[in-house]
Every structure is written in structure tokens, then in C-alpha cells.
Amino acid sequence: MAKTGQLLIHTVADDMSTDTAQTKLLHALSVSAPFADLSPTEHQALLAHWALSAFSKGDKVGLFDGQTDEGLWLIVSGEVELTTPAGEPLETRGEGEVFGHAIVFDPSQEGHAPYQVMSQTETELAHCPPSALAAMAKQSPMLTAFLSRRLGDRLRALHVGHRDRLSDLNLKPVIVGQPDQTIQQAAQLMSQHGISSLPLVEGGRLVGIATDRDFRSKVLAKGLSPSQPIETIMTPSPLTAKLDDQIDDAMLMMMQKAIHHLPVVNEQGAVVGMVSAGDLLRTQAPHPLQLARDIQRASDLETVVRLSKEGPGVLSGLVHQGSEVTEVGRIASLLTDTITQRLLALAEEALGPAPMPWCWVAFGSQARMEQGLISDQDNGLILANTPNEEEAEYFKALATWVCDGLNDCGYVYCNGGVMAMGQWRMSLEAWQSTFYEWMRQPDPQSVMNCSIFFDQRAVAGHAELLATLQSRVLEHAKEASIFLRFLAAESMRHHPALGLFNRFVQETDEHQQKGINLKKGGVLPIVDLARVRALEGGIHAVHTETRLSEAAKAGVMNEHDADDLMHALRFIGNVRLKHQVRQYDQGQSIDHLIEPDTLSRLHQRYLRSAFGIVKRAQVALASRYQL
């Protein structure tokens, strides 16, 4: 490497009287990733490793081939341009950014490319030699990941999930009973200690749980003798959590199963605590668990609509408290489930009991449990049998009642008409025939339909209807090689928002807002890739991260590539979620467009890495199917 530039000081430590140089370098380290997270004492210690140099506009800093270890350059002030050896522009870097390490400019290709650096302005650069950099990297996994040639390593090091755990709740000592105690003895024990649930243990292990609700519905309502053993009314083998489980995971479990008490056990299965809905409600306010309970108790449509309007605010609060996109997506989808379930119950109250078993199915992001602050509705209805005219009218009225209600709640009608109130209301056999026809003679429209309908999850009714449909269709899809090739081609319709020379591709929406579309250019390409891989392996999961994980376990994908995609999805999703929360907090319309300049240079770099991972995965899929 050759460089031009006037050496200001050999190292800052060699001339501590150079206060200006020291101050500049300390400031640069304090604002530059990955050094910004270090303490002031650690910043001070780093000074001895850096030499500060000045460059004039147009000076060549050096040529970096990625093979020779050149150490690291930090831009203290000014701006440099990175170009190919032939002078073609690659990108510009400014104050607080680094270069000198191996950089991947074309993420669709393996490896890195040589580049040269030219000073664009009067520039001050600090250089850390290879030996000092290696010593620092041994002490800092974050620095190692930051300088990694693998895009996924950077995102893995960056991702830090919400860490509040059940152990942080300071749970009270738990009162337990035995399954052979009488109902009266158990009730007296609960009354004595003022508790509303009683874990039941045998041989030191949890075997069941009894709650106030059990006493009301199974004893008083049915006139059961209090001399009977408590095991006759207990819930056997109840759901449990562990102390190191995250609070959000416990809340999700309680929301999903509509339970209000969750025993906490250790590795040996012994009960060490009890989490109640009240415990979780005290950790956050407003809280989605409370909102879900209120919706479940709503007596009319107007109340459901009013409560549903609180959803975006509750989700925004979770983000402010540290929850990330995977957690928020699950909670948002469970709130949508709860609203849908309550609307279905109210519809049955108005229309009378259904004439045959049915299953209400969610499609798209709700099915994948990946909803955000905004969402339209995508749903369908599976009927156990082909309905006669009277039965058909009943289910049409039911579906219309619920879809209209969802629209009133803020889940607008699907632009593509994917709703139970339309044509997507039919018997199990008709659904199966429809899927088989799509796979037998794939065309653009049928393949696009499959990309929607393969993301499906039972929300209410007889879930076994959907389970039967999924098993039959997945087995058929696994063997339909021509169909899978069409579906793989359809998945390429959404491109990562990364263009020539690693530049972001922006677009304009109907409101003339310009930016990177993080949904179409970030999230959907990964969702599409995961769907194809899941169908290859006959995988039932619909959650995107789970699909990728299961595809890796099944040997359909390389494990490292699957993990890269999961971290890319989380990073892109978090950027989009925080953008939408800012819009919500400011009373603006919520969208998927973000202007690159609103992101720090570091986050722009990580976003390019995430898009690059997607681009590389699409190249691999295209190669597999010879697209």
C-alpha cells in the first residue's frame, strides 16, 4: 500500500502536549463504531495505538487488496471516496467511519474486492497498525464481527434481544398442594395464603394446577362434593416456564392459551415460582395482555372496535421499552387473533350456532405471526362439508359480519380480495382441489395465489380441518417439482433494495414519499425464500424464522446461510418497526418507506449487509432451480 499525506504525529501518546490531536481522536473514537460502546478509560488506553495523518483533497490514501493486513483507518474529519482500482466509484465514507479492512461491495458474490481510497476534502485520518488491531480484536468480539468478511457475522454481533426475564420479577415463594388433597383442603390452603392458583406436586415434580376458575366451573357449577380429591378438577401437566425465559415469551404463551397463571419450574421440574397475569401487567403499561383480556370480555362490536384502536399504541410502547421485531410481531398477531375470535363469537351470538364444523384461517403476516403496527386482513373459511343453500347463506353472513368488523377495527379490506366474505369460503375438499389444480397447472396467477395461501394458520373453530388440508397439500407440493420451480421464480419478483455499486434503490409511493421500501425490498424477499425452502422440505411451520431454522435442520439449506437470513430479517424488521413507531408517535401516516439519510452511516452499512445476504440467497435459489 502506498500513501501520501503529511504525518502530524507519530502517535498521540508520543506527544501528549498535542491537546488538539488528542481531543480529536478521543472524540472520533467515542462516536465511531465499534469503539463507541467502550468506556472513556478504554478510549484513553486506545490512544497509544493510533497515528494521526493529514491529507489534502485529491490525495491517494492507498490501495487495499484485502490480502495484506493493513490495519484500520479511522476518518477523524473530512471525507474519502472508495473506488475500484480502475477508478469506478463504490461509495463515500465520512467522519466516524473506517476502511482498510476487507469490504464486500457485491454481496451476491463470495469474497471481497480490492479498492482504493482517495481523499475528497481536507481530511484527517487515524491509523491503527495490524498488530495493535489484532490485540484489540482478541479483547472485543464486537470488533472481530465488525471487521468480518462475512456479512452475517456483523448482524449477529449487532443483535441484542430484549433481555428482561422472569427472574427479574422477584417472584414470591410459591405455595403448593398435593393431588390427593380434597377440594376443600385445597380451597382452605388457597384462602389462607390469599392466592388464586395452586400448583400441585407429587414426588417433588409438578403434576397439575387448580385455579379459582376451576372451583367455580367444575365444583360449584356442577355440585361436585368438596370431599373429592383436587386431582379430579386440576389441569394436568400444565404449561410451564423457566426462570431464564424472557418476560415477553411468558406473556405470549399466556395470551395464546388464554391462561392467567403460569408455573415457573427449574431443570428438575420442581416449582420455584408462579407468574400471574397481574405480575406481567405490572411490568409494562399499557400492556397487551390487559388489552387482550378486555377484548375477550367485550360485549358488543362497538367495544371491540374501540379497544382495537389501542393496539398500535400498546405495540409502540413495547418498542420503546426494548422489545424487538420478532416479539412485537407475535404480540401484534395474537392481538389480531383475539379480535377475530371475539368478532366470531359475537357473530355466532347474532346468527345462531353454525350448521357444521368450520375453521377460520389467517393468511399472510398474521398467519406467520409477523404483523406490525399496520396490516390489512387476509383470511378464509374452511367448512367441514359442501354446504347446501341455507348453510351457504349462514356462512356468508358470518364471514361478512367478521370481515366488516375487522375493517372497522383498522384491518382494512384486502386489495386482492383474499377474504372469507369473498370467494375464499369453501369446503375442505374444495380447498384441497383448488390447491391441487394450482400445483398441477402452475401459471403466474396460481403461483401468486400459492405464495399467499401457503402462509396459513388456524385462528378459531376446528383447527383439525386446516391441519388435514396442510398435510395433504404439503405432501403434494413436495413432489411437484415444476410447481416449485414456478414458485421459486415468483419469489424473485421482490428484489432487495440494493443496486449498482452497492447503492440503495429508492422508490416513491402514492403520496410522493421517497425512500427504501423495507417491506418489498427487504422483508418480503426473505419471506418468499423461506416459503420455497419450507415447501421443499415439507415443513409445516409458517413463521419465517422457524421455516429457515427447520429448513436448515432438514438439510434443505446450509445452516449458516439460514442463520444469516434470520439475522438479516431481524435487522431489516427492526429498522422498519422503529421507523413506523416514530411515525406513530408523531401522528403521521404509517408506511414502509425510510430515507437512507435518516439512518446513521453505521446502520446504512448494516442495512447493505442485510440486503447483501438476501441477494446472495436469491442467487443460490436461482442456481438451484436454473432460473
Digit-coded pLDDT (tens) for 294-350: 899 999 999 999 999 999 999 998 888 888 899 899 999 999 999 999 999 999 999
Mark whether 177 and 306 lie in a shared domain.
no
Cα–Cα distance for residue pair 609/572, rounded to 1 Å: 10
pLDDT at 5: 43
One domain for residues 483 and 415: yes
pLDDT tens sequence across 354-375: 999 999 999 999 999 999 988 8
For 255: left if phi > 0, alpha if psi spans -120 to 50, otherwise beta; the answer is alpha
Q: Return the pLDDT at 15.
A: 42
Q: How many domains does the chain have?
A: 3
Question: Between 249 and 53, whose confidence is greater?
Answer: 53
598 and 492 within one domain: yes
Residues 514 and 604 in one domain: yes
Residue 524 lies in a domain: yes
In a domain, 155, yes or no: no
Q: How many Cβ atoms are within 10 Å of 322's Cβ, its own excluded?
A: 13
Least confident interval from 29-43, 301-315, 370-384, 549-563 = 29-43
Average confidence (pLDDT) over 412-425: 93
pLDDT band at 67 (very low <50, low <70, confident <90, very high): low
**CATH code of the domain covering residue 24:** 2.60.120.10
319, 242: one domain: no
- Confidence band, pLDDT 50/70/90 cuts, at residue 537: confident
Same structural domain for residues 190 and 272? yes
**300 and 270 part of one domain:** no
| Within a domain: 537 | yes
Judge whether residue 3 has pLDDT over 50.
no
Among 149, 174, 199, the domain-final residue is 149
Q: Specify which of 242-251, 522-531, 599-608 reaches the highest per-range mean pLDDT.
A: 522-531
The pLDDT of residue 514 is above 90:
no
Q: What is the pLDDT of residue 161?
A: 47
Band of pLDDT at residue 26, cut at 50, 70 and 90: confident
Taking all residues of the chain, what is their mean pLDDT, rounded to a whole number?
85
Helix (H) or strand (E) holding 373: none
**CATH number of 209's domain:** 3.10.580.10
- Give 254-271 as a DSSP string: HHHHT-SEEEEE-TTS-E
List b or e across 451-473, with b for residues whose CB sees 16 or more CB atoms inside 10 angstroms: bbbbbbbbbbbbeebbebbbeeb
Examine the pLDDT at 14 and tell me if it is beyond 70.
Answer: no
pLDDT of residue 147: 67
Residue 564 lies in a domain: yes
User: DSSP secondary-structure letter at 236?
Assistant: E
- Is 484 contained in some domain? yes
- Domain with 558, as residue range(s), is 291-624
**Size (the chain), residues:** 627
Residue where one domain finishes, among candidates 124, 149, 174: 149
